[in-house]
Amino acid sequence: MASRQARRRFTVLGVVIVISVLLIATQSSIGGAAKSVGSTLLSPFTSVINTVTRPIGNFFSGALNYSSVTNENAKLRAQIAQMRMGQAEIAYERRQVANVLGLQNLPFLNQLPTETAQTTGIAQSNFSSTITISKGASSGIAPGMAVVGSGGYVGQVISTTAGSATVRLVTDGQTRIGVSFGTTSVMGILQGNGQGDPLAVAYVPIDSLVHAGESVYTNGLSGSEFPAGIPVGHVISAKSVATATQMQIVVAPDANLGNLSYVNVVLWEPLK
């Protein structure tokens, strides 16, 4: 048993010596024939080593490539996000310009003087709806003045500072406006019912000539807070109930109250 192990050790040692000699031969200045023989004898070993080490090399190469691709993808995503942000800013600025231009030369104001202001704050609850605008008393704005958008009546100034003002929106529960319907002589008092609820017009006699789709305007009666002819809304429904003393009239506002980035304050006060 011991002799077998000894022979095995000598055999392994011999193989190692032979391989070492052949390696030296292939790298030394011995003739080409010796190199050729050494290469031929080492070819199986070289093939095995390459087969074993190639997957390891491929793994590290793939890992490096994956890291590079991941970094490039991250850079591309950042560039795309920046482009989209830039596009969003451009679109926002265009909307702002369109809003301001839409307030110029409003036909229903009949060239009444106005002051354009930016909305800087919004305060809304179930029954109260107000906005704060960027101009006030120093710009000639006073409590009681009408505020309009491109669609029509937005609200009324209720307080001012030198550089700002608070506007009660038409939907606010405290809103009360004298209105008329279309070209008729029918009049009533428009009331706000809180955010999200339609407007109502009270004190219109039963069976008056008021129909769905009819336009509603400020009536401008003597002593009225607003000039005549400002669009306020349009009738959604108008009903006469036999047991009631007045019509039930529901109105939707004409102004886009969801887009009040800029508004016009009508610099008009009733004669006292």
Of residues 154 and 40, the one with the higher pLDDT is 154
Are 139 and 97 within one domain?
no
What is the 3-state composition of the chain as percent helix, strand, coil, each rounded to the nearest 5? 40, 25, 35
- What pTM was computed for the model? 0.65
Mention every residue, 6+ apart, whose C-beta is less than 8 A from residue 111: none
- From 68, 102, 136, the end of a domain falls on 102
Are 248 and 116 within one domain?
yes
How many domains does the chain divide into? Answer: 2
Give the per-residue pLDDT at 104: 77
Pick the range with the lowest mean pLDDT from 42-56, 119-133, 199-213: 42-56
Q: pLDDT tens digit string along 215-266?
A: 999 998 877 889 999 999 999 999 998 888 999 999 999 999 988 999 999 9
What does the mean pLDDT of the chain come to? 80
Q: pLDDT tens digit string along 18-75?
A: 555 555 555 554 445 444 545 555 455 555 455 645 655 565 565 556 677 788 788 8
* pLDDT tops 90 at residue 144: yes
Are 119 and 246 within one domain?
yes
Q: Which domain holds residue 22?
A: 1-102
Are 154 and 26 within one domain?
no
CA angle 192, 197, 199 (to 5 degrees): 40
Of residues 118 and 61, the one with the higher pLDDT is 118
